[in-house]
C-alpha cells in the first residue's frame, strides 16, 4: 500500500482548490472571453504567434473591445479599442498605471533596471523625471537634434558605399545616434560591441516580454527552482541573458567615467549629468545608479525601435513606387535639389509627416505594447475587472480599426492622414498607440519621431528605391509579414538603392567632409 503523508496531501488539496476556484469559477460580470479549464484556465488559449492579431480576432468573435483570459489564476484583459484604452489608461490612470511582475523578464533576466518595466511609484517617478530633464526641448534643440543630423549624413554616405547592407546601416544610424547622445561613444560600424550588446539583449527581450511566453509568468514560484533541474532551461537561459543586460547598462557608463577622469570625455547626457553632480556636490551612489539605469533605458529602448520604424517606411517605399515619387516631389518642393533636408525642415513637409504616421500605424514596433497592471478592482462598461489584472493595450487592433482609419487599414497609404489639399487632416488621430498609453507612454517619443522624420526625408531627397528582379526580369515582392515577438521586425529583404543624380551623390559626400 502507498504511504499517506497528511501534510503533503493537504497542501496539494489546498493548492488544487485555490487554483480551481480562480481558474474555473467565472463570475458573470467578467468581460467576454473563452471559457477556461480547471486550474490552468486559458493557458491553452494563449496564442504562440501573431498574438496581437489573434487577440483582435478573438475580441471580434465575442463582439467586444474587451477580451478576458485567465492564465492559471492570473487575470488578463486585452483592450482592443482606442476608446477602452483611453478610458482606462488615461481616464483612470491611478488604477491602470502599474506594471505586472514580469517574473521572467525583470526578476530573472535583469530588466528591472528599466523604468519602462518597473511598477508605478517613487523610483519610476524619479527615473521618468531624470529622463524628461535630459530630453527637454532645450536639450533636444541644443544637443540631440544637431547630433541626429550628423548621424543621418553619415548614414547617407554608408548607403552610397554599401547599399546592399541598408538594414545594418539603419540599425547603425539609430544605435549609433543613441549611444552617441547618451554616452558620447562614436561607433565605427554596426559591429561596434556596444551596439551588438543592445541588439543581443533586445532580441531576448522580444522573445520573453509578452505575458504568458514562459510558464514562470503564470507560476512565479517556479523562479526559485534550481537551474539544473529538468525543465528548468528557462532559468539557465535567463541567467545567460542577465549577463548581457548587466554588461549593456554598466560598460558604457564606465567608459564615460574613465574619459571624465582623463579629461577626454565627449559632451553627452552621461558626462553632463556626472559633471553637474560633481560641480554642485550632489553626487551619491544612489544618483549615479539612477542615472546608469535611465541611460540604459534610453540605450535599449531607442536603438531598435527607431531603426525598425525607419525600416518599415523604407520597406513601404520599396513596395509602393508611386508613394516614393509623391514623397520625393513633396521634399523637393520645400527643400529643393541644391541642399539636403535638415532639422529646420521638420514639420514643413506634410507628406513626410504622413509617411511617418502611416509607418507607425501600419506596422507598430510594439504591436501589443507593454502590459499594465490594475492596482485594485474596477468596473468598466458593466464588466468586473479584478484587482491584479494584467491589462494590455492591443496597439495593432487600435491602429487597424477601420472605423478610425478606413476600410483599407491593411494597406500602406499615407494619404489617410492628409486633406485633399495636401495638409494634415486633424480629424484622423495621430497613431500615439504605437508609443504606449497614459502615464506610461514612451517619454522619448518626440526624439523618436524627429529621428524617423529626418531619416525618411533624407532618403526621399537622396535616393531612388526599387525592387530587385529575378533572372527573368520579374520584380521580387518583399515580404510585409513581420517577424513575431514583443518587438516586431521586418523580415530581411533586398532592394536596389541608387542616388537620384550625380550632383546629389556629390552633395552627400560633401556633407560629412
**Residue carrying C-alpha cell 525592387:** 467
Range 26-62+101-360+448-510: architecture per CATH: Orthogonal Bundle (1.10)
Query: What is the distance of C-alpha 32 from the center of its chain?
Result: 28
Mind listing the pLDDT tens digit of every residue in the chain (513 residues)? 334 344 444 444 445 544 444 444 444 599 999 999 998 999 999 898 899 999 999 999 999 999 999 988 899 999 999 999 999 999 999 999 999 989 999 999 999 999 999 999 999 999 999 999 988 888 888 888 898 999 999 999 999 999 999 999 998 888 888 888 899 988 776 677 888 888 888 888 887 887 777 888 888 889 998 888 888 899 999 999 999 999 999 999 999 999 999 999 999 999 999 999 999 999 999 999 999 999 999 888 777 889 999 999 999 999 999 999 999 999 999 999 999 999 999 999 999 999 999 999 999 999 999 999 998 999 999 999 999 999 999 999 999 999 999 999 999 999 999 999 999 999 999 999 999 999 999 999 999 999 999 999 999 999 999 999 999 999 999 999 999 888 899 999 999 999 999 999 999 999 986
SS3 at position 156: helix
Q: How far apart are CA 185 and CA 387, in angstroms?
A: 45
For the chain, the residue count is 513
The confidence score (pLDDT) of residue 13 equals 45
Residue 193: per-residue pLDDT: 84
- Please write down the long-range contacts of 157-162, taking CB distance under 8 Å and 24 or more positions apart: 157/508, 157/509, 157/511, 157/512, 159/462, 159/463, 159/497, 160/499, 160/505, 160/508, 160/509
CA distances from 301 to 182, 203, 336, 394, 474 (A): 12, 12, 34, 19, 39
Residue 41 bridge partners (DSSP): 37, 71
Phi, psi of 338 (to 5 degrees): -110, 10
Domain boundaries, the chain: 26-62+101-360+448-510
pTM here is: 0.89
Known binding-site residues for heme equal 442
d(CA 231, CA 233): 6
Q: Report pLDDT for 24.
A: 44
Measured between alpha carbons, how far is 262 from 247 in angstroms, rounded to an integer? 22
Query: What does the pLDDT read at residue 12?
Result: 45
With H, G, I as helix, E, B as strand and everything else as coil, classify residue 440.
Answer: helix
Report the binding-site residues. Answer: 442
Amino acid at each position: 500500500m502507498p504511504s499517506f503523508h497528511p501534510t503533503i496531501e493537504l497542501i496539494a488539496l489546498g493548492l488544487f482548490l485555490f487554483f480551481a476556484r480562480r481558474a474555473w469559477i467565472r463570475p458573470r460580470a467578467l468581460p467576454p472571453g473563452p471559457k477556461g479549464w480547471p486550474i490552468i484556465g486559458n493557458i491553452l488559449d494563449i496564442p504562440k504567434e501573431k498574438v496581437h492579431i489573434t487577440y483582435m480576432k478573438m475580441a471580434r468573435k465575442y463582439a467586444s473591445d474587451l477580451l478576458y483570459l485567465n492564465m492559471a489564476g492570473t487575470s488578463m484583459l486585452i483592450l482592443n479599442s482606442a476608446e477602452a484604452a483611453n478610458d482606462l489608461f488615461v481616464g483612470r490612470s491611478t488604477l491602470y498605471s502599474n506594471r505586472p511582475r514580469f517574473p521572467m523578464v525583470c526578476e530573472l533576466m535583469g530588466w528591472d533596471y528599466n523604468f519602462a518595466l518597473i511598477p508605478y511609484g517613487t523610483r519610476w517617478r524619479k527615473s521618468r523625471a531624470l529622463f524628461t530633464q535630459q530630453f527637454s526641448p532645450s536639450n533636444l534643440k541644443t544637443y540631440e537634434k544637431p547630433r541626429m543630423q550628423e548621424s543621418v549624413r553619415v548614414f547617407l554616405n554608408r548607403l552610397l558605399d554599401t547599399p546592399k547592407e541598408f538594414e545594418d546601416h539603419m540599425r547603425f544610424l539609430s544605435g549609433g545616434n543613441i549611444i552617441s547622445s547618451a554616452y558620447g561613444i562614436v561607433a565605427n560600424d554596426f559591429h561596434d560591441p556596444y551596439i551588438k550588446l543592445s541588439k543581443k539583449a533586445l532580441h531576448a527581450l522580444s522573445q520573453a516580454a509578452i505575458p504568458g511566453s514562459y510558464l514562470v509568468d503564470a507560476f512565479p514560484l517556479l523562479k526559485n527552482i534550481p537551474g539544473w533541474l529538468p525543465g528548468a532551461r528557462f532559468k539557465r537561459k535567463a541567467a545567460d541573458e542577465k549577463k548581457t543586460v548587466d554588461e549593456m547598462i554598466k560598460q558604457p557608463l564606465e567608459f564615460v567615467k574613465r574619459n571624465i577622469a582623463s579629461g577626454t570625455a565627449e559632451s553627452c547626457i552621461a558626462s553632463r549629468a556626472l559633471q553637474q553632480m560633481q560641480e554642485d556636490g550632489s553626487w551619491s551612489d544612489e544618483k549615479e545608479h539612477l542615472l546608469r539605469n535611465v541611460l540604459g533605458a534610453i540605450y535599449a529602448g531607442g536603438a531598435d525601435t527607431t531603426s525598425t520604424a525607419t525600416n518599415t517606411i523604407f520597406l513601404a517605399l520599396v513596395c509602393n513606387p508611386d508613394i516614393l515619387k509623391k514623397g520625393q516631389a513633396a521634399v523637393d518642393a520645400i527643400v529643393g535639389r541644391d541642399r539636403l533636408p535638415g532639422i529646420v525642415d521638420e514639420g514643413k513637409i506634410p507628406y513626410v509627416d504622413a509617411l511617418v504616421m502611416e509607418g507607425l500605424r501600419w506596422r507598430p514596433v510594439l504591436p501589443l505594447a507593454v502590459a499594465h497592471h490594475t492596482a485594485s478592482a474596477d468596473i468598466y462598461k458593466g464588466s468586473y475587472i479584478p484587482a491584479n489584472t494584467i491589462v494590455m493595450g492591443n496597439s495593432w487592433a487600435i491602429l487597424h480599426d477601420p472605423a478610425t482609419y478606413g476600410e483599407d487599414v491593411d494597406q500602406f497609404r499615407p494619404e489617410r492622414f492628409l486633406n485633399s489639399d495636401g495638409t494634415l487632416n486633424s480629424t484622423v488621430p495621430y497613431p500615439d498607440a504605437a508609443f504606449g498609453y497614459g502615464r506610461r507612454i514612451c517619454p522619448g517619443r518626440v526624439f523618436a519621431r524627429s529621428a524617423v522624420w529626418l531619416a525618411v526625408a533624407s532618403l526621399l531627397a537622396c535616393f531612388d528605391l526599387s525592387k530587385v528582379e529575378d533572372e527573368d526580369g520579374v520584380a521580387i515582392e518583399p515580404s510585409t509579414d513581420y517577424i513575431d515577438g514583443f518587438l516586431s521586425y521586418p523580415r530581411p529583404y533586398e532592394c536596389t538603392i541608387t542616388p537620384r543624380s550625380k550632383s546629389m551623390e556629390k552633395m552627400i559626400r560633401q556633407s560629412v567632409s
